[in-house]
Amino acid sequence: EYLGDNIDVITNVLSFPNLEYMGREISNGQDTGTTYRQNITQILTPKLKCIKDQAHISLPLTSWDLPDIEYIGDSIFTSLQTAPIQTINIGSKVKTIKSTAFDRVDGATINIDLPAPDAGDTSWKADAPWGATNTTVNWTGIVQ
């Protein structure tokens, strides 16, 4: 449930090679008056399929690769501050990104391995950039 690092041993990258579901709170400890895990700028989640609504991610991530993600819920970053993330790479398996998934993201680039939505598309794709501001969405998938 908790990942402790009160002596800042964890640096740069935190790896969860078998994580498939992210429920709630991957945090730098600020809610408890501490500032642990301020060094973590990337988390590796190669098998992650689902990020629950209000996951409250509050690490100083600069990039995140989500090659197997299928579902990204609303407001996944904490409401305490704007997420510093610069790049989010989403694989072709994604089926849903909720309309406010990235509402704390500002100035990022989101690369998604799917073709861009058509003009009349009313699916989740049409909600891009899913609540983020000043954000570029690059649709890198090829139309079949």
Extract the tokens encoding 98: 């909720």
Question: Is the Cβ–Cβ distance between 143 and 118 less than 8 Å?
Answer: no
Integer-rounded Cα radius of gyration of the chain = 15
Q: For 92-138, how does the pLDDT look when each residue is reduced to its tens digit (9 = 90+)?
A: 999 999 999 999 999 999 999 999 999 899 999 999 999 999 999 99
Identify which of 45, 57, 35 has the alpha carbon closest to the alpha carbon of residue 14. Answer: 45
What pLDDT does 28 receive? 46
Kindly give, in sequence order, each residue whose CB lies less than 8 Å from that of residue 109, ignoring residues fewer than 6 positions away: 86, 87, 88, 135, 136, 137, 138
Each as own residue / partner, the long-range contacts of residues 78-83 (CB below 8 Å, 24 or more positions apart, any chain) are 78/27, 78/104, 79/104, 80/30, 80/31, 82/106, 83/57, 83/108
- Per-residue pLDDT for 39 more than 90? no
Q: What is the pTM of this model?
A: 0.83
Q: Which helix (H) or strand (E) holds 66?
A: strand 63-66
Could you give the CA distance from residue 135 to residue 55 in angstroms, rounded to a whole number?
Answer: 21
Q: Is residue 26 very low, low, confident or very high in pLDDT (cuts 50, 70, 90)? A: low
